[in-house]
Amino acid sequence: MAQNERATSQPSKLKVSFEFFPPKSPDMADQLWQTVEALQPFQPDFVSVTYGAGGTTREPTLSTVGRLIAQTPLATAAHLTCVAATREEVRLVVDEFKALGVRHFVALRGDPQGGVGTRYEPHPGGFENAADLVRGLREMGDFEVSVSAYPEKHPESQDETADIEMLKRKVDAGATRALTQFFFDNDTFERYLNRVRAAGITIPIVPGIMPIQNLSQLKRFASMCGASVPERLDRRFEGTEGDAQARAEVAADIAAEQIVDLAKRGIAEFHLYTMNRAPLTVATLTRLGLGARSSSLSGAAA
């Protein structure tokens, strides 16, 4: 897709949302708020802030969510997990978010305490899984509740049927939207969506889009979370070694092309994983005609 090419499927009707994570240092905080400032003009449907398993980023998440609500017009969702916490501890955290003005949670089980690949064990006295957490949130307040979905199956699920059954349990518990793990094969997503609808699940299934900041790092991350990275992406980046600007242009093209194709298939909502960096997200959305900003891709790499 040429840089000035625009989506033909009524881009003004597309909805986008952005994911951020709480910063770990003053420099990372500066980067986050510069990213928020750059992305705010795109008027996202909402933004979300991640929450470390077992509350490991509890205070930074609360601080980030609070600032977003107090200082921006952005509808802000807080991620919440149930790893290494009792039900009462989770309720106390929910009360803190609620006091800040949070009315939308992204309810996740969270990674096992031993890390990805280890066995998950529910905390004694805690919520058993994400479906149980959703049910608990519904009992605590009239919240909007988003959950996760996996077009390529959660790595711990026995099979695709079991994976979709878990999604149905989350929906039956009160989930109102599902945000997917990132993926790069739209046919895979479409097949997944067809299976989800055949199972009687009618909530929005929002594709998670990952603009490729660094292809090598993405492959390592994808191998841990069960997502595949097609070989065609390697071919797209051929010849860009040593040229960060060229790699960034290719990365923005790939993300925009994926959204355009999904929009042609009838998808109108997209959740972008920003990695707290604005340039690739801005460039992707600009290619779609969703903003008049000129995009600078300095600092983006693949």
- Write the CB contacts of 279 (distance below 8 Å, at least 6 apart in sequence): 248, 295, 296, 297, 298, 299, 300
DSSP assignment string, 228-244: ---HHHHHHHTT-TT-H
- The closest of 26, 69, 44, 60 to 281, measured between CA atoms, is 44
Burial classification of residue 239, based on how many CB atoms lie within 10 Å of its CB (0-12 exposed, 13-18 middle, 19 or more buried): exposed
Residue 46 carries which DSSP code? E
From 19, 152, 249, 257, active-site residue:
19
CA atoms of 159 and 195, how far apart (whole Å): 13
Q: Residues 20, 64: contact at Cβ < 8 Å?
A: yes
Rounded CA-CA distance 201/195 in Å is 9
277, 267, 299: which is closest to 288 by C-alpha? 267
Give the integer Cα–Cα distance in Å for 104 and 78: 7
Q: Are 83 and 116 in contact (CB under 8 A)?
A: no
Is 19 a residue of the active site? yes
Contact 151, 111 (CB under 8 A): no
DSSP 123: P
Closest by CA position to 87, among listed 49, 149, 135: 135
Active-site annotation, residues: 19
